[in-house]
């Protein structure tokens, strides 16, 4: 189930039926992003396909942007959950291996998760190849760019699972690493619909090389 922040939904779903309705609306939002893009997405069609009255939609979401914001947060939660699970299953405790897994997981979601090619963690691409829709770089938080939010969530994971030293140095390094990875992976998916393998490999090398100067060897 989604773990969207309290400020995203107008009303938090308390009953199981309400939670399922919210999930269905997010699922249909993701599918419609693939089918018609952000411009073609309408709250009426999301509600119709999810099998809920339009009034029910507005009980939970203020508008279309609120809906896609909730979907972006669900995507981020799913990415971090999957990354945490893979790190544990692989027994990885060093940041170099974590970088490779993080990039691999992002690429896998880009290729297979509905709507993720159009909007992963907030920034909306009118087409999978971009460029991004103006103003969506702060979709998750009006005061902070999406990548800063992503870096902060990764910071918590890095400290908890990999024992990285907390502090402003780590915070800054992760923001730079996320920005760099985001730019190169966008390039990879512009070059090839499924992501150019050589550019994906370059992304891993770039981030590992940069973080080598900021995180200790394990």
* Domains (range + CATH), the chain: 16-211 (1.10.357.10)
pLDDT value for 13? 58
Q: How far is CA 80 from CA 77, 113, 131, 138, 157, in A?
A: 5, 14, 25, 20, 8
Percentage, residues of the chain above pLDDT 90: 67
- Are 76 and 154 in contact, with CB atoms under 8 Å apart? no
Lowest mean pLDDT among 114-118, 158-162, 167-171, 196-200: 158-162
Q: How much is the average pLDDT of 173-186?
A: 96
Task: Give the whole-angstrom CA distance, residue 86 versus residue 170.
Answer: 22
Residue 20: Cβ-neighbour burial (10 angstroms; 0-12, 13-18, 19+): middle
Q: How many residues does the chain have?
A: 218
Work out the average pLDDT over 128-147: 88
How large is the average pLDDT for residues 79-95?
85
Ramachandran category for residue 37: left, alpha or beta (phi over 0 → left; psi -120 to 50 → alpha): left
Q: What is the mean pLDDT of residues 184-207?
A: 95
Whole-prediction pTM: 0.89
pLDDT of residue 170 exceeding 50: yes
**What's the pLDDT band for 6 if we cut at 50, 70, 90?**
very low
Mean pLDDT across 172-196: 94
> What is the helix (H) or strand (E) element at residue 182, kind and residue range?
helix 168-191
The rounded radius of gyration (Å) of the Cα atoms in the chain is 18
pLDDT confidence band for 97 (50 / 70 / 90): confident
7 band by pLDDT with thresholds 50, 70 and 90: very low
Distance from C-alpha of 186 to C-alpha of 40, rounded to nearest angstrom:
23
Query: In sequence order, what are the residues at sequence separation of 6 or more whose Cβ sits closer than 8 angstroms to the Cβ of residue 119?
Result: 33, 38, 68, 71, 72, 75, 125, 136
Q: In terms of pLDDT, which residue wins out, 59 or 126?
A: 59
**Cα–Cα distance, 165 to 206 (Å, whole number):** 21
CA separation for the pair 148, 151 (Å, rounded): 5
Q: Give the pLDDT confidence score for residue 4 in this predicted structure.
A: 41
Reference 211, options 156, 175, 173, 179; nearest CA is 173
CB 39 within 8 A of CB 125: no
Phi, psi of 124, deg, nearest 5? -100, 130
Residue 3 banded pLDDT, cuts 50, 70, 90:
very low
């Amino acid at each position: 189930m989604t773990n969207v922040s309290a400020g995203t939904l107008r009303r938090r779903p308390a009953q199981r039926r309400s939670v399922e309705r919210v999930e269905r609306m997010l699922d249909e939002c993701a599918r419609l992003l693939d089918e018609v893009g952000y411009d073609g997405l309408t709250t009426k069609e999301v509600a119709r396909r999810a099998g809920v009255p339009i009034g029910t939609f507005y009980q939970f979401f203020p508008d279309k942007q609120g809906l896609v914001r909730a979907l972006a947060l669900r995507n981020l939660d799913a990415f971090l959950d999957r990354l945490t699970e893979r790190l544990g299953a692989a027994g990885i405790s060093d940041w170099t291996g974590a970088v490779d897994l993080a990039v691999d997981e992002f690429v896998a979601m880009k290729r297979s998760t509905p709507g993720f090619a159009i909007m992963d963690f907030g920034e909306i691409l009118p087409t999978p190849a971009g460029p991004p829709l103006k103003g969506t770089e702060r979709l998750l938080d009006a005061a902070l760019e999406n990548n800063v939010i992503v870096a902060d969530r990764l910071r918590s994971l890095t400290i908890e699972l990999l024992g990285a030293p907390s502090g402003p140095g780590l915070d800054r390094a992760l923001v730079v690493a996320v920005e760099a990875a985001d730019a190169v992976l966008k390039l990879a998916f512009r070059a090839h619909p499924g992501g150019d393998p050589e550019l994906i490999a370059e992304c891993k090398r770039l981030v590992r090389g940069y973080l080598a100067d900021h995180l200790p060897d394990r």
